[in-house]
Structure 1
Amino acid sequence: MPQLTALDAQFLHFETATNIANIAGLAVLEGDLNRSDLQAVLERRLPYVPALRRKLAWVPFGLDHPYWVQEDDLDLDYHVREIGLPPPGDDARLAEQVSRLHARRLDRGRPLWEIYLIHGLSGGRMGLYTKIHHAAVDGVGGADVLAALLDTSPEPAPPPAEAAERDEPPPGRPEMLVRGLARLAGNPAYAVRFAARAIPHLDEIPVVSRLPGSRLLSGLARRVAGAGHSPGLPPLPAPKTPFSGPVSGHRRFAFVSLPLEEIKQVRKAFGVTVNDVVMAVCAGALRRWLAAHGGVPRRPLVAGVPFSLRAAGVAGPGNQVAIMTAPLAVHVEDPVARLHQVRVAMRRIKDRFALAPARWLREFSESMPAALMGLASRSAFGLVGQTAPPINVAISNVPGPQFPLYVCGARLLTHYPVSVITDVSGGVNITAFSYDGSLDIGVVTDREMIPDAWELADLLRESLDELRNAEASLPQ
C-alpha cells in the first residue's frame, strides 16, 4: 500500500503547461532493436521494477497525497512506441525529436513512463528514449529503472528466480478520507517541527537565505546545537542572465561525449575531484556562452546541485534528494583559478552536507497540508520565478558503470541524461553520466532563452580543452 511522500507529490503539483517534471535518458545503441523483443524483455522484468508497474490513485478532495496502485493490465503497446527520423538521421534530428518528446506531459491515468525506439539514425545506430515522472523516481531510482532494460552481455539475463512482491491494494475511499483528515489535523505539528529543525539550515534554503538576519540566526542556532564548526555558506544572490526567469513550454536538447580519461588527467594534474572538473567545465562553457550573449556577470552564477540523501544513509520510500546551491565561478577568466574556486565551493557544501544532510525540501513538503500543496507549489513557483529566481542553472554528475552494457543484444554506445528545467531552477540543465570510459552530457534548455542548445554543448568540449591546455603548460 505505498503512498507518495510529500516530496513525491510536490513533483506532481508544481507541474504546469511549462514546468514539466519528466526525467529521461537517451541511449544510443549499436544496430537496430526490435520493438517486440524489447516488449518481451519488459514483460518478464516489469514485475521486479515497482516504479514501472504503478499508477496513481487519488484521494477524494485532495485531502491527502495520492497512493500508488499496481497496474496488472499494463498496455505495453501504449508505453513502448517507435518512431523514425527523417533523412539524414543525424544527431541534430535525433536531439530535435527528443526535445519534442521531453516537453510532453505524461498521462496521469497510466503508469508514469514511456519508451520510444527511434529508428533511422545514421551510422547503423538507433536511439532509445526512456521517460519517467520525477514523482515516481529520483536520480538513483531512475538508474534502477534503466537497469531493468540493461544486461552485461549480449544475451539477456533471465528474470530472478524468486517471485516478485506484489503491492497491497490502497485503502478504500472512506479510509482515504479518514487518513486525509487525520493528516490535516496533524499538519500544524509538522509545521512547528519543521520550523525548529529548519532554523540551523536557513542559509541552505534558496530565497530564505537572502532574507535579512537569516544567516546570523542560522549560525547562532548551529552553535547552540553544538555544530559551531560546520562550514558556513556564502550569500548567493543569483545574477540576472538570459536564462533566468519563467520558462516556456518548449525545450531544446543537445548532447556531447567527453573522454573520461581526459577528465581524470585534469583531476590528477590539479589535485581536485572528477566532480570538480565537471563543474569547472560547465562554468567555462557558460562563461563563453554569456560572453557571446549579453556579457558575463561580475559575480558567480548560482548552481543548483542535487545530492542523494541515500548516500548519506537516509532511508525511506520515494524521492530522497536534496538540492544544495553553490557559487559557479563564471566571472573568473583564468581556467585554473576558476577550477580552484569551484573546488573550494564544492568542498564547502559537501562538508556541510556530510555533517547534516539538507532535508529542508522534504521536511518543508511534509509541513504543508496536502489539500493546499498543489496551489501553493504552483503559486510559489510562479512568484519566485518571476521576481527572484534563486538558481541560474542546474548541474548534476552521475557516476555510471565502466563496462559495456546491452539492450536486447544491442550494445549501448552512449547514454545522455535528459533532465528538468523550471521557473525556479533556470532555463538550463546540464547533467553528466559516466559510462564505459566516456562522460556523456545532456544539455536541456528553454527554447526561448537558448534556442541553440548545441552551441552550449560544443562549448563544453572547448572548456575541457582549455583546462587540458592549462594542464599541458604545468612544469613536468
Structure 2
Amino acid sequence: MSSTSRRAPLASPTAQARVDRASSADRAFLAMDRGLVPQQFGVVLGLEGHLDLSAVTELVAERVRAVPRLRQRLVRVPFGLGGPLWLDDAGFDVRRHVREVSCPPPGDEPALMDVALSAVTTRLPPDAPLWSIVLVGDVAGGRSALVVVLHHVLADGIGGLGVLAALVDPGRESFPAEFPRPRPTVTTLLEDSVATKLQALVGLPASWRLLRSSMTAGGGLRPPPAAACSLVQRIGPRRQVLVVRWDVDSLRAAAHAHSATVNDALLVAVAGALEQVLRHRGEHADRLSIAVPVSGRPADADRSVGNLVSPLLVAVPTTGPQRRRLAEVAAAVKALKPLALAPAPIAVLGWLFRPLAALGGYAWYLNHQRRFHTLVSHVRGPAAPLSFGGSRIDSAVPLGVADGGNTTVYVDALSYDGTLTLAAVVDPDHFPDADVLTRALEDELRAVCSPS
C-alpha cells in the first residue's frame, strides 16, 4: 500500500502539546468569508510534459510534512479559553486535497484559466485543512499544469510563496515529528488565554500607535472619495481572467532609471490601462485610487504561514508624461510604505471587525465603498526556474478571486524566471470590454519602458 493511502499514526500521549492560536489577521480573513466567492487565492503552474496523478500525490504527501499548517485545521475552543487553535488533523488524507481534471478543448491558456478559476472559486471543505492541488491534463502542446489553491486564513501572498517553495523540487527538509500532536489541556488553554490577554493589555498603547500608522497608509478614516466611474459598481459571482506577460528586467531598468520600483511602474501601467478602458466607454478620470497590499513580514519571519499585510492607498495619475507620473507615484509610495508595515486595521481592531463582518457589515462596506477603484497586488517570485516531479515549471500565473464587492477589476502580478505575469480578474457581466484592457496593459507597459 502506498504512503498516500495511509493515515498518519496517532501521536503518543507523551508528545508535547503546543498552543498554536490563529492570529487576529487570520481570524479577520475567516470572518470576511461570507460572500458568494470564497476568500481563496491560487497560482497556476505550467509544466513541460505530463505528470501522473499518483506521482503528484506521492510527492505532495511527502512534502506537506515540511509545512505543518497544511495538515492542520482551525478549531474553535469553549468560551473563556481563548481564540481558535490550529490543531493537527488526525484524519488527514492527502487524497482529499489532490485531484486531476482534463483541460477542455482546445486546451489553450483561456481554457486553462477557466479550469483554474473553477478550482479557486470552489469553496474548500471546512472539515479539512484549507488547501487543494488540481493536476490539469490535456493542456495544449502535450503540457500539464498544477493549480495550487489556499484559503487566505492560511497565508498571504508571501506566505503562499513559502508554501510553494516547500512543494516544488527538491522539497524542503522536514524533521521527523509525531503526528498528530495532542491537543492542549483545558488548564493549558486557560493559562495561555490569560497570558495572551495580559500581553494585549500591556501592548495596548503601542497597538493604538500602530493603528494610526496603518490607517494613515490606507487613506485614513475619511479619504477623498474615488472619482465616480463605471469601474466601481456592484458585481456578481462570475469571474474572467486576462493574462499579460512582460520582461521583468526591462521594466525594472525603466523604473530604476527614475528612482522607482517595479511595483511603482506596475501601478502607473495599470492606472493608464484603466484610463484607456474608461475613454473607450466615454469616461475619464485624472487619477485612479489603487489599493496595494504591503507585506509587513520581517525578513527572518516564517514565509509559509499567516497574514502580515496592510493596505496602502495610492492616488495614481492617468495622464501626463510617463516619467512625471512614475516619479509622483514613487514619491507617494516611499512616503506611505513605512506606515503600512504596521499590522492591518482589521487585525488591530479584530475584536470589533470580526463580529461586524459576521453580521454582514464588511460585505455591505465592500458593496458601497468609494475608497478605491481597484486593487493591485505584486509579489516577487523566484528568479530562477523551478520544477515539480522533474518537470520544468515554465510559467506561473497568480489568481486572487475573493468577493470584490463593487470592484469590477483587480490585478495580481507575480514575477518568475524573468517574466512578470499580470492576471487581471474581472466580472465579465460588469466589465465587458476585457479585450480593451488586455491591449491597454500591453500598451502602457511598453510606454513605461520607453518613457517620454
TM-score (norm. length: structure 2): 0.84
Letter in 2 for 1:261: D
2:269 is the alignment partner of 1:288: no
Residue 430 (structure 1) aligns with: 411
Q: Distance in 2 between matches of 1:274 and 1:241?
A: 27
2:282 is the alignment partner of 1:308: no
Alpha carbons of structure 1 residues 322 and 315: separation in structure 2 relative to 1, 3 Å: farther
1:46 paired residue among 64, 73, 77: 64
1:169 paired residue among 170, 173, 182: 182
What is the CA-CA distance between 1:202 and the residue it aligns to? 4.5
1:341 paired residue among 293, 307, 328: 328
Determine what percentage of the aligned residue pairs are the same residue.
Answer: 28
2:221 is the alignment partner of 1:209: yes
Letter in 1 for 2:258: F
What is the CA-CA distance between 1:164 and the residue it aligns to? 4.4
Residue 227 (structure 1) aligns with: none
* Aligned-residue RMSD, C-alpha: 3.2
Residue 225 (structure 1) aligns with: none
Q: Distance in 2 between matches of 1:374 and 1:335?
A: 45
Residue 15 (structure 2) aligns with: none
What is the CA-CA distance between 1:111 and the residue it aligns to? 0.5
Alpha carbons of structure 1 residues 324 and 420: separation in structure 2 relative to 1, 3 Å: farther
- Structure 2 portions without partners, runs of 5+: 1-18
2:429 paired residue among 448, 460, 466: 448
1:23 paired residue among 33, 41, 49: 41
Matches within 5 A, 1:72-111: 72-111=90-129
Alpha carbons of structure 1 residues 145 and 133: separation in structure 2 relative to 1, 3 Å: same
Greater alpha carbon shift after TM alignment, 306-315 vs 442-451: 306-315
2:285 paired residue among 277, 280, 297: 297
Letter in 2 for 1:124: G
Deviations 1:266-295 (A, max 9, x none): 224434322222222212221112222351
The answer (yes or no) to whether the contact 1:7–1:361 under 8 Å persists in 2 is no
Alpha carbons of structure 1 residues 164 and 256: separation in structure 2 relative to 1, 3 Å: farther
Question: Secondary structure of 1:146's match?
Answer: helix
2:343 paired residue among 342, 347, 359: 359
Alpha carbons of structure 1 residues 410 and 202: separation in structure 2 relative to 1, 3 Å: closer
What is the CA-CA distance between 1:360 and the residue it aligns to? 4.1
Q: Distance in 1 between matches of 2:213 and 2:156?
A: 26
What is the CA-CA distance between 1:55 and the residue it aligns to? 1.3
Alpha carbons of structure 1 residues 161 and 78: separation in structure 2 relative to 1, 3 Å: closer
Q: Distance in 2 between matches of 1:366 and 1:399?
A: 29
1:261 paired residue among 249, 254, 257: 249
Q: Distance in 2 between matches of 1:186 and 1:159?
A: 34
How many residues are aligned here? 433
The answer (yes or no) to whether the contact 1:59–1:177 under 8 Å persists in 2 is no
The answer (yes or no) to whether the contact 1:245–1:389 under 8 Å persists in 2 is no
What is the CA-CA distance between 1:10 and the residue it aligns to? 0.9
Residue 198 (structure 1) aligns with: 211
What is the CA-CA distance between 1:240 and the residue it aligns to? 2.7
Q: Distance in 1 between matches of 2:209 and 2:262?
A: 36
2:25 is the alignment partner of 1:7: yes
What is the CA-CA distance between 1:18 and the residue it aligns to? 2.6
Q: Distance in 2 between matches of 1:161 and 1:467?
A: 44
The answer (yes or no) to whether the contact 2:132–2:148 under 8 Å persists in 1 is yes
- Structure 1 portions without partners, runs of 5+: 152-156, 211-234, 472-476
Deviations 1:172-230 (A, max 9, x none): 57976897799899999987875565346643345x531xxxxxxxxxxxxxxxxxxxx
Deviations 1:58-77 (A, max 9, x none): 23469853211112442222
Q: Distance in 1 between matches of 2:210 and 2:337?
A: 20
Letter in 2 for 1:384: Y
Residue 377 (structure 2) aligns with: 396
The answer (yes or no) to whether the contact 1:257–1:438 under 8 Å persists in 2 is yes
Deviations 1:292-336 (A, max 9, x none): 2351223x2221111111137788973111111111222x24433
Question: Secondary structure of 1:401's match?
Answer: coil
Residue 320 (structure 1) aligns with: 308
What is the CA-CA distance between 1:129 and the residue it aligns to? 0.7
Letter in 2 for 1:359: P
Residue 162 (structure 2) aligns with: 144
1:55 paired residue among 73, 76, 87: 73
Q: Distance in 1 between matches of 2:423 and 2:58?
A: 29
Deviations 1:38-73 (A, max 9, x none): 111111111111221111212346985321111244
Matches within 5 A, 1:177-196: 194-195=207-208
Q: Distance in 2 between matches of 1:190 and 1:380?
A: 27
